[in-house]
Amino acid sequence: MSYVFWQYTWIFFILLLLAWGLGKYLYWAFWNEGHSKLSRVYERIEKLIYRMAGIRSLDGMNWKIYCGALLMVNAVLLGLSYLLLRVQHALPLNGAKAENMEPTLAFNTVISFMTNTNLQHYSGESGLSILSQMLFVTMMMFTSAATGLAVAIALIRVLGTRGKTIGNFYQDFIRSIIRVLLPLAVIVTILLIAAGVPQTFTARTTVAALEGGTQTLALGPVASLESIKHLGTNGGGFFGANSSHPFENPTPFTNIVEMLSMWCIPAALPFTYGYVVKKRRQGIVLFITMFALFAFMLSIVYIAEKSGNPFVGRLGFSLDQGNMEGKEVRFGIPLSSLFTAITTSATTGSVNNMHDSLTPIGGLVPLALMMLNNVFGGDGVGFVNIIMYAMLAVFLSGLMVGRTPEFLGRKIEPREMKLIVVALLVHPLIILVPSAIALMTHLGTEAISNPGFHGISQVVYEYTSSAANNGSGFEGLQDNTPFWNISTGIVMLLGRYVSIIAMLAVAGSLVMKQPAPVTSGTFRTDTITFASILFATVLIIGALTFFPVLMLGPIAEYLTIH
């Protein structure tokens, strides 16, 4: 246990250093223009892109124009990607002879990658050509992450400045790629290649097997996809086995690199926020709250997996090794549990072990993290969600003491609360309603591989992962059917864009408000008291909303086997 404690401690310490340094870099990248030689180099590249794209003005936008530009860019990329998947068989760099993707599967796949979900109802090494992996998957991983990051930057800009606009979407979008995602992806790609992750245009290679004969192995530009897959909190694997595949994640070192990659940007944004609003303590309070929620969930999944499955004990086998079903020996329970908690708290969806093989309580943790939908979260959108909960906590606290709630000198009034409540209510709605429909019809139940309480968990997990734009799954579910492709595609769209539109509208409302003076009665949001209220708000709302369905799935399964 002491070894595990120090292993986790060192990883957390490295994360803290990365988050602090990257938070400062993000502040420089978006707010310090032309103050260094590097920024001038970036500006030349960006001006060339603006010219090629026909963008003539970088003037500030109101929230409606900003939102319209975001939706337009996403829609164009969506259409081009769908076309690519439907004709990939006739295009070059298709050494594996991948066929054109079936219409409903292509519909699901392009929505999945555009919404930063990366839910895969196909196996990457056989379902996509190398060209599709590069032009579609890798491109979408950059653009979807940049979209979420742009929304967070716009909201931070509103909270930290006194301008009349929320910024320019095209500028925020391009800067997210050129100044943040691309440089970091190059660094991580080099680290992964050095550690043995393949990077080649060769689609297949034949090797001699140890027991005699030969074996054909799938290859491709894996390292470059892996880097942005994790940095962009995307999660779609080059191979069907995702980051449990030895070519995607060969060693404990690459495992740690990938965990830190998917965690660093969501963890850095609270520090960036503190720099912009000139209240670093408030940024630290948000980070502490997010990390406390994460650590609480991590402890549960680790203890559950270390305790093992009592059925195995009843058969006379030792439980000393814990529950190793579905896990890679090279990672063991500690790094598998940590990966599970990070990938669902940062809404990445990458997996280094099979979540379907977790113990009932171990499987409850990734479900709960996605249901809460704000513990670090994906690039940008996770921070937007924690700010949404922070405003809700301020509003509730203000009602308790009879004061008009204020957040960073802006009054939180009924218009903002209505938008926040809409975003909060849509999340459980698009999880619970489709799950009920799937469990009531043969179209849904035929996909369940493990009937009983675990079958309920499989269905709920699929829609929770889609709504949270996570993309991991209980892979025993046979989900590549028109019903699942279309229903989860719709859920992914709603899960992504309803909250984005709602929070951009909140930003548009706040930017028009006159600052309220700070008085002795102003509720402070940079204290441990507020962190405790925020922690409780997130857990209570999550528990009240999802506890009944968790009782029908993982909790009932746990009680059954015990």
Whether residue 332 contacts residue 514, with contact meaning beta carbons closer than 8 Å, is answered with no
Whether residue 198 contacts residue 177, with contact meaning beta carbons closer than 8 Å, is answered with no
Q: Is 326 exposed, middle or buried (0-12, 13-18, 19+ CB in 10 A)?
A: middle
**Structure-model confidence comparison of residues 403 and 461, the more confident one:** 461
Quick: pLDDT tens for 371-392.
Answer: 987 688 888 888 988 888 888 8
Tokens read off for 554: 């993982």
Quick: pLDDT tens for 523-534.
Answer: 778 888 888 988
- Say whether 214 sits in a helix, a strand or coil: strand
d(CA 439, CA 142): 35
- Say whether 41 sits in a helix, a strand or coil: helix
Quick: pLDDT tens for 352-368.
Answer: 999 999 999 999 999 99
- Kindly list the distances between the CA atom of residue 46 and the CA atoms of 13, 210, 212, in Å, as whole numbers in the listed order: 34, 51, 54
What is the per-residue pLDDT for 198?
Answer: 93
Average pLDDT over residues 476-503: 94
Can you state the percent helix, strand and coil of the chain, rounding each to 5? 65, 5, 30
Q: If residue 206 lies in a helix (H) or strand (E), which one and from where to where?
A: strand 204-208
Q: Which of 101-115, 262-276, 306-320, 361-375 has the lowest mean pLDDT?
A: 306-320
Quote the crossing angle between the two packed helices 280-307 and 2-31, to the nearest 10°. Answer: 150
Average pLDDT over residues 45-55: 93
pLDDT at 64 over 70: yes
Residue 186: how many other CB atoms lie within 10 Å: 13
Whether residue 393 contacts residue 282, with contact meaning beta carbons closer than 8 Å, is answered with no
**Structure-model confidence comparison of residues 511 and 262, the more confident one:** 262
Residue 18: how many other CB atoms lie within 10 Å: 17
d(CA 272, CA 274): 5
- Terminal-residue alpha carbon distance, the chain: 24
Quick: pLDDT tens for 143-192.
Answer: 999 999 999 999 999 888 776 789 999 999 999 999 999 999 999 999 99
Give residue 556's Cα distance to chain centre. 28
Q: Which of 10-19, 91-100, 119-128, 386-395 is modeled with the greatest confidence?
A: 10-19
pLDDT at 401 over 80: no
- Say whether 363 sits in a helix, a strand or coil: helix
Q: Which of 293, 373, 305 is nearest to 334 (CA)?
A: 305
Q: Which of 311-325, 329-343, 421-435, 496-510 has the lowest mean pLDDT?
A: 311-325
What is the per-residue pLDDT for 519?
Answer: 66
- Say whether 278 sits in a helix, a strand or coil: coil
Q: Is 277 exposed, middle or buried (0-12, 13-18, 19+ CB in 10 A)?
A: middle
pLDDT band per the 50, 70, 90 thresholds, residue 261: very high
d(CA 320, CA 307): 8
118 — phi, psi (to 5°)?
60, 35
Q: Which of 388, 381, 385 is nearest to 407 (CA)?
A: 388
Q: Which residues contact 236 (CB under 8 A, 6 or more apart)?
A: 112, 113, 118, 119, 120, 124, 137, 141, 229, 349, 471
d(CA 534, CA 286): 9
What is the per-residue pLDDT for 215?
Answer: 87
d(CA 214, CA 206): 7
Q: Which of 169-178, 275-284, 330-339 has the lowest mean pLDDT?
A: 275-284
Tokens read off for 200: 């080649």
Give residue 263's Cα distance to chain centre. 9
Measured over all CA atoms, what is the biggest interatomic distance in the chain, rounded to whole angstroms?
Answer: 79
Q: Which of 489, 498, 478 is nearest to 423 (CA)?
A: 498
pLDDT band per the 50, 70, 90 thresholds, residue 520: low
Q: Hey, which bits of 370-524 come out as E strands?
A: 406-407, 410-411
What is the per-residue pLDDT for 498?
Answer: 93
Average pLDDT over residues 224-240: 92
pLDDT at 34 over 60: no
Scan for tokens 């969806």, then name that residue.
Answer: 349
Q: Hey, which bits of 406-516 come out as E strands?
A: 406-407, 410-411
201 — phi, psi (to 5°)?
-90, -5
Quick: pLDDT tens for 89-111.
Answer: 999 888 778 899 999 999 999 99
Rg, C-alpha atoms of the chain = 23
d(CA 173, CA 190): 25
pLDDT at 32 over 80: no
φ/ψ region of 473 (left if φ > 0, alpha if ψ in -120 to 50, else beta) reads beta
What is the per-residue pLDDT for 93?
Answer: 85
What is the per-residue pLDDT for 521?
Answer: 65
Q: If residue 215 lies in a helix (H) or strand (E), which one and from where to where?
A: strand 214-218
Contacts from 510-519 at CB under 8 Å and sequence distance 24+?
510/158, 510/159, 510/410, 510/416, 511/63, 511/158, 511/163, 511/164, 511/165, 511/166, 512/164, 513/410, 513/411, 515/162, 515/409, 515/410, 516/406, 516/409, 516/410, 516/411, 517/409, 518/409
d(CA 194, CA 334): 24
Tokens read off for 395: 């509003």
